[in-house]
Each structure stands twice: as C-alpha cells, then as structure tokens.
C-alpha cells in the first residue's frame, strides 16, 4: 500500500491496482492500430480508457505510446485502446507506462487485458434424466409459455454449435451465423473442435429446444445469439469480453449470460457492463468456482446478477463462490445439456447455474413483456424461493420459473418508489479538501426491509467515494468495508438487497479529489 506525503492512503493503488502490466520508457509519436490480434488471452496488452470528451480514442492514447509498443485495437463506443507491449518488458517498465499514460489529458485509467476463463468443473458420466428444469419449477411456467422467440439471450462464451439438432431452431436468425466471433475476429462463432464444449453446453441450458422431440429440454425456447469471446482453450481477453458485451447490447439482447470470470476489477469491463445495462439488457453471470471464495468479476459488478450454484438436494454446491453480491441461486451440479458435435453431457459449475437464471429471465420476460431490465431483475428476486441458505449463499433464493412467469410483477413486494412501504432519509454536509471524510450511522425504521439504497451526490467535477458497513459497529475505511462504490465521479450508489432487520449501517463519504457540499440519501424499501 502506498501513501502520499501527507500520510493519506492512496486508495486508488489499493482498490484499482491493475496488477503486473505497466509501462516502457522511450515515447514516440502517432501509432496506427494493427489488425489481426491472436485469438484468446492477450497477456501482453494494456487497456487504456479515455474520457467521452476525447475526439478519438487512438489519438488520446497515441502520444504516450513508446516506440516498442503499439495500439492493436480500439473501441470507440466504450472508449478504450488495447496497447501491445513486448513480452520481455520488465515489471517496473510496465508500471512506469501505466503511471505516465494516466497523465495524458483524456486518459482515465490503464489496466491489464486480464485473462477471463470459463467456469466449470468436470463431472461424472451423464445421468439418464434431468433435474434442473424440475428444480426451478419450469413445468408450471411452461404451462403458460415455453419462451417467446422475440426475446433474445446472448451467450458470451466459447462458440455455440448453432446447427446442433437441439439448438438450431432457437438460434436468432436475424444475425449472420447467429452471432460473432470476437476471439478470432470474424463473423462465425462456430466451435473449432469437440473440446470447445463450454459455450454449447451453456447455450443449451438457457435456450435448448423444449418440447421439440429432440434431446434434452432447455429452460426456454427464447432466441439465442452466440458471442464467441473465449477460444478453444477456454480463455479469452478482457477486451474481447467487453466488446462482446457491447455488441450483444447493440443487437438488442434482452438477456446477456456470462458463464466466465477472472482478472479482478476492471474499468473496461465495468464500463461495458454499464453500457449494456443502460441499453436495457439484463446481465447474468456465474459467481465462480473457488470453493467458497469471493464472488468473481463480472458477476460482482452492481450492474450484473451474480448466481451461485446448488446441487440436486438444493444444498450449496461445494465449489460455489459466495458473498454479499449473490442475488440468486440455481442448479449447477451435473446439469445435462448439449455439446459439440450433436452430443449431450453433464457438466458442473456456476457456469451451469447462470444460464438457468438467464433462461428463467427469458421466460419471465416472455410472459411480462413490458418489464425493464431493472424491473425484471427485481421480479426474479421477489419470486425466488428460500431454500434455507444464508443470503451470501443464495441471495434472494433459488430462482423459480413458475413463480416468475405466473406471478404479476409487483405482487412479490420489492422496491417500487411509489409504494407506501418506502422511507427516505437525506443528510447534507460538506468536505473541505481531498482525503477528507465523514462517517454516518443509520438505523432501520422498517421491521422487514427488502432493500436499502445508499446514494451519494457530490459537487460536479469532484471525485467522491462511498463505503458502507452492514452489521459491523464501526465506520468502514477505504480498504476495509462491506460495500463500496468508487468511480472517477461524484455520483455513487450502493444497493443492499434483503439486509438483516436488526443491524445498522455505517457509511463513509470520502473525497479523493475536490471538495464541497454533498447529499447522502438512504432509502429503505419494505417488501
């Protein structure tokens, strides 16, 4: 941990450290982007994010690129450039580059193009019958709808065998080859060999053919897109995932499934998820398979529904990650689905649980077409079933297709701002300088709150951060906290779903840069 000369902790180095990638000495002039990057992981790249005010992403970054590096990819929509650096560059040289490029006028961050990997655990030979659709009560939902082909689920993963006999009818024919290949940068997301089975398996869970007389039953008959961002090794670059998220949103996908994770917090990935969320997509992701470890990114972002895995007995799967970010649980062990070529197999992992939720989301949206992504998200949580696990293990509970389809949105409670079961408290105060902070405590008023939202609104142009402890009688710090929201902005928000009814919040408002008055608003929604 580093400190400035005044003794203040430089929390950006603690919270947003990009890892081992960094910089070089010897800068040159304009550099042109080069096509044809290798597919899969890109360990020799640094992602540099620029502000929306920059007229050109490449121009904003090019002036800080050393002669032995090059810009190999840009995404103008998300505002980042991928800079390839020599593989033998020293750690110190890389760190120097990261530090120097951040000094450029329009540059907001620099981070490694981390490797994101598929989550699954090898399992025993396939069972003769499925259990996942029955466990989430699909039968009741299917009495109402098998899934509307007008609802699209985009699967960001390895490639999908889109001509599989149990998938072909549900592929979205509005897009050439039913998707795009970001790993190989072409228009055909078809798997390269039989070992590339993860995407086909995940896709078959969410939208494999149901009631079609072929193979297994998927959760929904919604349409499906394949965004191939992981190559045959199961790995892929952070930038490919981000591009696939943006592309999926631009295709109008109502649901985006990401059975993948790794690399820690990333501004590039966070921006991509925010982009898709703002576009109206519901993002669903696997929590990770680290046997009780913390929830992995992208599942841990506020814009993404994090899903833990259950086994056939509705117990938490031993491999599943857990934490306060978990919003729903779903069957993930020994799940039968499609694999290349024209086959079926059982696989286990939170990778299998996530598309169950994505498929149920598709069913719910098929039945309730007017729902926004936020309303759909809350509806899935309101209609989930408590299976006796802690909130860190199951979130709101096990997703339930019957309830989600056959319960009118709003009947399950939730956070309707116009509902009388709402109470808001706002405090106003000010901070006098950078690294100044205030701490507040807040006690519940409702007996059974279903959600608590903490919002911070600071002065324009400043950088204010928000940290929250729940149930710990102490103020959080910038490196020890239960919840946090810290972006290069003065507007921050923390959402706590189904908190304990007897605990208090301790809230730290912290100024990283700038000063001035701020509003801190805490809203309880009783459900």
Residues catalogued as catalytic: 157, 198, 351
Angle between helices 267-278 and 238-250 (to 10 degrees): 10
**Helix/strand/coil (H/E/C) assignment for every residue in 160-221:** CCCCCCCCHHHECCCCHHHEEECCCCECCCCCCCCCCCHHHHHHHHHHCCCCCCCCCCCCCC
Rounded to the nearest angstrom, the gap between the alpha carbon of residue 64 and the centroid of all alpha carbons in its chain is: 30
Buried b (16+ CB within 10 A) or exposed e, 442-478: bebeeeebbbbbbbbbbeeebbbbbbbbbeeeebbeb
Q: How long, in residues, is the chain?
A: 527
Q: Is 386 left (phi over 0), alpha (psi -120 to 50) or beta?
A: beta
DSSP label of 475? -
The C-alpha atoms of residue 361 and residue 373 are separated, in whole angstroms, by: 10
CA 422-423-427 angle, to 5 degrees, is 150
Rounded to the nearest angstrom, the gap between the alpha carbon of residue 515 and the centroid of all alpha carbons in its chain is: 32
What is the 3-state composition of the chain as percent helix, strand, coil, each rounded to the nearest 5? 20, 30, 50
Residue owning tokens 């917090």: 265
Buried b (16+ CB within 10 A) or exposed e, 365-374: bbbbeebebe
Report the DSSP beta bridge partners of residue 257. 155, 284
The C-alpha atoms of residue 382 and residue 205 are separated, in whole angstroms, by: 23
With CA atoms as reference, report the closest residue to 452 among 518, 497, 387: 497
Instruction: Order the strands of the 107-112 sheet from edge to edge.
Output: 70-75, 80-84, 45-50, 107-112
Q: Is 77 left (phi over 0), alpha (psi -120 to 50) or beta?
A: alpha
Structure-token pair, residue 480: 């020890």
CA 225-400-360 angle, to 5 degrees, is 10
User: Helix, strand or coil for residue 391?
Assistant: helix
Buried b (16+ CB within 10 A) or exposed e, 410-422: eebbbbeeeeebb
Rounded to the nearest angstrom, the gap between the alpha carbon of residue 407 and the centroid of all alpha carbons in its chain is: 27
What DSSP string runs through 59-114? Answer: HHHHTT-BTT-EEEEEETTTTEEEEE--TT--HHHHHHHHHHHTTSTTEEEEEE--
């Amino acid at each position: 941990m580093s400190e400035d000369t005044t003794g203040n902790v430089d929390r950006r180095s603690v919270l947003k450290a990009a890892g081992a990638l960094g910089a070089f000495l010897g800068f040159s002039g304009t550099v042109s982007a080069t096509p044809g990057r290798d597919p899969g992981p890109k360990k020799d790249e640094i992602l540099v994010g620029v502000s929306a005010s920059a007229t050109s992403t490449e121009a904003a970054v090019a002036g800080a690129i050393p002669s032995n590096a090059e810009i190999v990819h840009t995404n103008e929509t998300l505002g980042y450039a991928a800079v390839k650096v020599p593989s033998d560059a020293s750690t110190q040289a890389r760190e120097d580059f990261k530090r120097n490029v951040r000094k450029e006028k329009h540059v907001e961050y620099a981070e490694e193009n981390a490797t994101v990997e598929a989550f699954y655990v090898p399992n025993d030979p396939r069972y003769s019958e499925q259990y996942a659709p029955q466990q989430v009560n699909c039968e009741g939902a299917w009495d109402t709808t098998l899934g509307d082909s007008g609802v699209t689920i985009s699967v960001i993963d390895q490639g999908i065998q889109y001509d599989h006999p149990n998938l072909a009818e549900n592929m979205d024919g509005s897009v050439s080859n039913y998707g795009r290949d970001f790993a190989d940068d072409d228009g055909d997301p078809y798997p390269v060999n039989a070992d590339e089975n993860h995407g086909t398996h995940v896709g078959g869970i969410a939208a494999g053919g149901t009631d079609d007389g072929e193979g297994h039953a998927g959760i929904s008959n919604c349409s499906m897109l394949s965004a191939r961002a992981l190559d045959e090794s199961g790995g892929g670059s952070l930038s490919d995932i981000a591009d696939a998220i943006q592309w999926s949103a631009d295709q109008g996908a109502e649901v985006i499934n990401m059975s993948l994770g790794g690399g820690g917090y990333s501004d590039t990935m966070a921006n991509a998820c925010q982009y898709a969320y703002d576009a109206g997509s519901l993002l669903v992701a696997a929590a990770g398979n680290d046997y009780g470890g913390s929830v992995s990114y992208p599942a841990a972002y506020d814009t993404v529904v994090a899903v833990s895995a259950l086994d056939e007995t509705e117990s938490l799967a031993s491999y599943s990650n857990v934490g306060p970010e978990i919003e729903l649980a779903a069957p993930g062990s020994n799940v039968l689905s499609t694999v290349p070529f024209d086959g079926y197999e059982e696989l286990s992992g939170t990778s299998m649980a996530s598309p169950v939720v994505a498929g149920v989301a598709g069913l719910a949206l098929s039945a309730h077409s007017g729902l926004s992504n936020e309303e759909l998200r809350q509806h899935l949580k309101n209609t989930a079933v408590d299976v006796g696990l802690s909130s860190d293990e199951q979130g709101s509970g096990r997703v339930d297709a019957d309830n989600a389809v056959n319960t009118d949105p709003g009947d399950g409670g939730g956070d309707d701002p116009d509902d009388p079961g709402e109470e808001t408290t706002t405090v106003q105060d000010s901070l006098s300088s950078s690294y100044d902070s205030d701490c507040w405590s807040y006690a519940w008023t409702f007996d059974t709150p279903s959600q608590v939202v903490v919002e911070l609104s600071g002065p324009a142009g400043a950088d204010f951060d928000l940290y929250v402890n729940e149930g710990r009688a102490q103020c959080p710090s910038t490196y020890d906290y239960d919840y946090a929201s810290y972006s290069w902005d003065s507007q921050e928000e923390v959402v706590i779903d189904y908190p304990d009814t007897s605990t208090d919040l301790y809230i730290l408002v912290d100024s990283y840069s700038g000063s001035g008055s701020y509003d801190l608003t805490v809203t309880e929604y009783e459900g």
